[in-house]
Structure 1
Amino acid sequence: MSSADFAPDRRPVRLGVQIAPQHAPYEVHRKTLQRVEDAGVDIAFNWDHFYPLSGDPEGMHFEAWTELAAWAEQTTRIELGPLVNCNSYRNPNLQADMARTVDHISGGRFIFATGSGWAKRDYDEYGYDFGTAGSRLDALARDLPVIRERWTKLNPAPTRRIPILIGGKGEQKTLRIVAEHADIWHSFVDPETLVHKLQVLQDHAAAIGRDVSEIEISNELRDRDEATADALYDAGVRLFTLGITAPDHDFAAMDRWIAWRDAKNA
């Protein structure tokens, strides 16, 4: 296996900016979203949590899916999605319908990015069963086919085959689910670890007869330098994400990575 298996020449480098829905009034997030789209970022993400993940744990925070519906109306070009939806918080048929609806509002720009969930405070405060890491992954594996099937039944149907992004790095369960269902695999692992994880993913894909080149590889840029980004690129990453948060959104970092993306695609 080589990085070419995961990053065929036809796949460009893309940049996604995750705008954390915390620590500012909504009008600030709306202006940030516009700045991100106007700058030429490829994808705008938020996250599916109910409380801040950094800073004041009791600070301002907004719900992911209602915000995404607003983003779909407020933008015209950029793709959008949660990074990532928590499978535990909603019935899979409902998730499918919500995704289809945001897909239509956006005119076909929605990415269904999902995962098994991990933030115990969300579960405890909102009354969800936390279970175990294994049981949450089992539920994700069970629910993804339900979501796909519901998309075939909805009227109107989705505007396109909605891309599925799956986040996580576990080798026995997560990467097997990625091999079966994902169009995009997202993780935070370092370049050296990524090479090993991609081999595991290749093995899972081979076991089910999947062409691994169909899967776009995604990783995070925050707190990383260009040398690390170059190493991730060489390993096969083509979607790079950058997390920014209020009260001080770091547009300088965003502009820096846009320039790096454009140089890679030149």
Structure 2
Amino acid sequence: MQLQPQHAEYSAIRDAVLRVEELGADVVFNWDHFYPLSGDPDGLHFEGWSMLGAWAEQTERIEFGTLVNCNSYRNADLQADMARTLDHVSAKGGTGRFIFGTGAGWFERDYDEYGYEFGTPGTRLAALAEALPRIRSRWAKLNPAPTRDIPVMIGGKGERKTLRIVAEHADIWHSFVQPDELGHKLDVLKRWGDEVGRDVSTITVSNELDRKGEDVAHADALYDAGVRLFTIGVSGPDYDLAPVRRWLEWRDAKNA
């Protein structure tokens, strides 16, 4: 579940997180942007990482994170420390529940308005490739260490650069690739895995579901193609969770 932090007061977001956990969803994500991506471009909006600390305390079972973090906004070692802290805040006597979703960034307005250099897709991907080893290195140095090997989710589908980064660093690969494209992308991912010495069959494949909760044939095709983490995005102000209920029923039928 991606609760898009736009067009809603925070009280509505807080309530939606509770309802999502009560419904039985496995993961709740937000996103890492500074302005709405749909609707009124200057509508209500909240920053993602600050919100995650509240979610870590508010929830008991559900995993959580950003879909996805923008690597460009923060020093790599700082990102690692923020992630480790959320891991501990969410542990509550057990293991943490934070998923470190990350990507190269793409929404130019975020960069322009907040004073970050936008660069090019190539420079942003190079920065992501440089940051990920630093993040893992920092996790190994922090005291206390993370409570678990924090799962890394990487978003994107580019074959020359992104899928290599996925092969080397990701535990979860997220994209919007269609079912008929997925086999080819997974072949590319395997070739990159062979090159970097990684068994990519251990990577969980993630994709987007129909936001109305109706296109079951498409979801079945994604499942048959290898997708095992399915996300659905819902925007404010009201956070209608009826489609989430329908997709949870579909999930439970698959797992029966």
Normalising by the smaller structure, the TM-score range is over 0.9
SS in 1 for 2:25: coil
Moved over 3 A (4+): none
1:160-197 CA distance string (max 9 Å, x none): 00000000000000000000000000001110111111
SS in 2 for 1:161: coil
Q: CA deviation at 1:154?
A: 0.6
Q: What is the TM-score normalised by the length of structure 1?
A: 0.93
Corresponding residue of 2:141: 153
Corresponding residue of 2:173: 185
> What is the one-letter code of the residue matched to 1:98?
M
1:112-131 CA distance string (max 9 Å, x none): 00000000000000000000
Correspondences of 1:3-22 after superposition (within 5 Å): 17-22=1-6
Q: 2:12, 2:238 within 8 Å by CA — same for their partners in 1?
A: no
Q: CA deviation at 1:244?
A: 0.3
Corresponding residue of 2:251: 261
Counterpart-to-counterpart distance in 2, 1:133 and 1:155:
35
Corresponding residue of 2:110: 122
Q: 1:41 aligns with which of 25, 28, 31?
A: 25
Corresponding residue of 1:228: 218
> What is the one-letter code of the residue matched to 1:64?
G
Counterpart-to-counterpart distance in 2, 1:248 and 1:195:
37
Correspondences of 1:45-124 after superposition (within 5 Å): 45-107=29-91, 108-124=96-112
1:126-156 CA distance string (max 9 Å, x none): 0000000010000000010000000011111
Does residue 246 (structure 1) correspond to residue 236 (structure 2)? The answer is yes
Corresponding residue of 2:155: 167
Q: CA deviation at 1:68?
A: 0.5
Q: CA deviation at 1:239?
A: 0.1
- Percent of aligned pairs sharing the same letter: 69
Counterpart-to-counterpart distance in 1, 2:190 and 2:204:
13
Corresponding residue of 1:138: 126
Counterpart-to-counterpart distance in 2, 1:100 and 1:207:
30
Q: CA deviation at 1:250?
A: 2.4
Structure 2 unmatched runs, 5+:
none
Backbone CA RMSD of aligned residues: 0.8
Q: CA deviation at 1:248?
A: 2.9
Larger RCO of the pair (alpha carbons < 8 Å, separation 6+): 1
